[in-house]
Amino acid sequence: DIVMTQSPDSLAVSLGERATINCKSSQSVLSTSNNKDYLAWYQQKPGQPPKLLISWASARESGVPDRFSGGGSGTDFTLTISSLQAEDVAVYYCQQYYSSPLTFGQGTTVEIK
Amino acid sequence: QVQLQESGPGLVKPSETLSLTCAVSGYSISNGYYWGWIRQPPGQGLEWIGSFYQSGSTFYNPSLKSRVSISIDTSKNQFSLNLSSVTAADTAVYYCGRLHGFCTSSGCYATFDIWGRGTMVTVSS
């Protein structure tokens, strides 16, 4: 199984400031056949199911604010919130879909400082 | 608008079988897409349990494969999860969801683009 490791486990950021979450996979999730990274990011607010934010490492889902951006390739990825808003308080998960079984990171909690 | 709703007992005794149903509205599961189950133990991360296609093909996480079965009822537009021989480690919020991707005989390669609200299942005597 591909192990997904996120860092940090939690971070506190001031409103309007940048938040960056890291995700590292135990093996590459980059497909050489189509040059795509099989990496997704989810946001989970308390008491709610996860919401898909980004797929293919950097492609935002419809309706996701452009302050959310994904980057990286191969084994190292980042989710950046460029200007943290109060509604962004949540736990964020990365997920790889390059290899079965599908696996998720342990989650990163984002709070307001 | 596609919506999913999980239902089932909130309490299951150890060694018994956990059974949940996911009712889908706004889309006929016979028309396509892969669908599946994910769980989240309290305060922990997410674990993919298994998925299926409308053809009846099923795909399971190897870690749970010996205890899991997923079935489909197209007449009711719903699908079900059975997890046998449960222990306290199976206590979790169980979500059903729609996959955006595909599955093959080797497994599933997909994100989850639509989720149910989840149902908490506690395993305890």
For residue range B54-103, list pLDDT tens digits in order.
888 899 999 999 999 999 999 999 999 999 999 999 999 999 999 999 88
B36 close contact with A: CB closer than 8 A: no
What was the pLDDT predicted at A19? Answer: 98
Contact call for residues A41 and A50 (beta carbons, < 8 A): no
Number of C-beta neighbours around residue A27 at 10 A: 13
What was the pLDDT predicted at B54? Answer: 82
* Best CA proximity match to B2, nearest among B108, B109, B102, B97: B97
Among all residues of chain A, which has the CA nearest to that of B42?
A47
What was the pLDDT predicted at B107? Answer: 87
- CA torsion, ordered B39, B41, B46, B47, to nearest 10 deg: -60
Whether the bond between A65 and the residue before it is cis, its omega within 30 degrees of 0, is no
Distance CA A65, CA A52 (A): 12
Q: Mean pLDDT score of chain A, rounded to an integer?
A: 97
Phi, psi at residue B31, to the nearest 5°?
Answer: -85, -10
Distance CA A54, CA A2 (A): 19
Q: How much is the average pLDDT of B1-12?
A: 97
Strands B92-104 and A90-96: unpaired
Amino acid at A60: R
A 50-109 residues inside an 8 A Cβ radius of B: 50-52, 55, 61, 93, 95, 97-107
User: In chain A, which residues have their Cβ closer than 8 Å to the Cβ of B100?
Assistant: 52, 55
B79 close contact with A: CB closer than 8 A: no
Q: What is the pLDDT of residues B22-55, one digit of tens each?
A: 999 999 999 989 999 999 999 899 999 999 988 8
